[in-house]
Amino acid sequence: MTTQEERAKRGPRMARTSKKQGQSKAEAAPEPKIHCRYDTLLDVACLTPHPANPARHPDKQVELLATIMRTHGIRHCISVSKRSGFVVSGHCRMMAAKKLGLKTFPVTYQEFRDENEELAVLVADNQIAELATVDGSRMGDILVELDRVDYPLQLTALTEEQIVDYVEGPTGTPRGTSAAEKHKCPKCGHEW
């Protein structure tokens, strides 16, 4: 049995954390490194959420994004309308920054012709990612590779159940192993 087959059989490891032993919550974590282009670093207290934003971000999502930003750094800035001064893109990032106690956050300022264009971009930003589909086989391969190098899988933002589903594949058979041949009754359609 290959190492990949062994990993697939035992399932992915989820319990890893990046917190060092002996580190207390009271100790201030270093500011996350910024990996994106931005116009300015704006005081987080000056960020104003768009009052028309239809997206709601549960605490679990904000906490997860805060963990990802603390670990991977800041990869996406917040977009603010030059017209209204409201956040148009990055409401959850703003909430995660506040949760982390960040003083500043990278911001880009965006021009909008009018309120209608600003609202359309606000809605599109929330909706466009939801139109994506996932290639389960590729996702499984990525997760197996991350697990192979002991990378904390919770930093993928997938649930443990999703990770298991991707790693085991659609038939429930771990990657790298072959499923038993299925049979189907020609009369009733029962499979075994």
pLDDT in tens, 74-127: 999 999 999 999 999 999 999 999 999 999 999 999 999 999 999 999 999 989
Residue 168 has pLDDT above 50, yes or no: yes
Contact 28, 66 (CB under 8 A): no
- Model-level pTM? 0.74
Residue burial 57-90, b: 16+ Cβ < 10 Å; e: rest: eeeeebebbbbbbbeeebeebbbbbebeebbbbb
How much is the pLDDT for 173?
54
Q: What is the radius of gyration, based on Cα positions, of the chain?
A: 22
Confidence of residue 72 (pLDDT cuts 50, 70, 90): very high
For residues 19 and 165, what is the distance between their CA atoms, to the nearest angstrom? 27
pLDDT (0 to 100) of residue 83: 97
Q: What is the pLDDT of residue 169?
A: 73
Closest CA to 174 of 44, 6, 34: 6
98 bridge partner residues: none
Structural domains of the chain in order of their starting residue, each with its CATH number: 40-131 (3.90.1530.10), 133-171 (no CATH)
Contact 76, 40 (CB under 8 A): no
Cβ contact 102:73 at 8 Å: no
